[in-house]
Amino acid sequence: MERYGVTPTVLFDQLGLLEYGGGGFHCVHMTEQDLEICRDKKIWVVTNPASNVKLASGIAPIQKMLDKGIGLAIGTDGPASNNCLDMFREMFLVTALQKFQEEDAAAMDAMEVLRMATVGGAHAMCLPECDTLAAGKYADLIMIDLQQPNMQPLNHIAKNLVYSGSKQNVKLTMVNGKILYENGQFQIGVDPAEVYQRVNASIDRMRR
């Protein structure tokens, strides 16, 4: 603002960078004009609530974006600002922070949040072949164990996932029809212990 007299969103629009859509990440500090540009230029907003609250960056106006018809998805950002990288926690924070910000317990319905985390993510990444489970599309999915205390009673599965779900409920992960994780076992072509060892070795080098 000090340098150009306009917000980053307006500046990018003036420079023509938004003519072909794209993505905006975090989007915590957004003016009404910024939101209108995102809507008109079909910018997908990827919110990262855990990162934003950890860094005290603020709360993105997701409910306002939803009301304006802006495409929405959920991300985690990286481990430097979000240690957990847990999409279930992100979903809960999206709805809980909007309820707090809007002072409205009905803000950000669980179905909208679940849509952001699934279909929205695929569209934000320009991967329409991954958005739903349908013939001719990639079999990208997870299977959830509902027979755990946090998922009972089964009153409303979508709300259970958003408000109570945990990564511990994930029983299976499949990408393009290939099972990469099942019942605590990784099938990624490398021993997880080796990955942990390399990660800790990298951290040891950084500490020196």
Q: Per-residue pLDDT averaged across 71-92, rounded?
A: 95
- The third-level CATH classification (topology) of the domain covering 139-208 is Urease, subunit C; domain 1 (2.30.40)
Confidence of residue 46 (pLDDT cuts 50, 70, 90): very high
pLDDT of residue 204: 94
The pLDDT > 70 percentage for the chain reads 100
Average pLDDT across the chain, whole number: 96
Q: Minimal CA–CA distance to 45: which of 62, 20, 23? A: 23
Q: Is the pLDDT of residue 53 over 90?
A: yes
Domain extent listing, the chain? 1-131, 139-208
Task: Report the C-alpha gap between 203 and 127 in whole angstroms.
Answer: 34
Q: What is the pLDDT of residues 130-165, one digit of tens each?
A: 999 999 999 999 999 999 999 999 999 999 999 999
Confidence of residue 192 (pLDDT cuts 50, 70, 90): very high
Distance of CA 62 to the CA centre of its chain: 12
Q: Is the pLDDT of residue 93 over 90?
A: yes
Q: What is the pLDDT of residues 103-133, one digit of tens each?
A: 999 999 999 999 999 999 999 999 999 999 9
Half-sphere exposure of 116 (CA within 13 A, CB side): 33
pLDDT of residue 208: 87
- CATH code: domain 1-131 is 3.20.20.140
Confidence of residue 92 (pLDDT cuts 50, 70, 90): very high
**What are the structure tokens assigned to 204, written together?**
């040891």
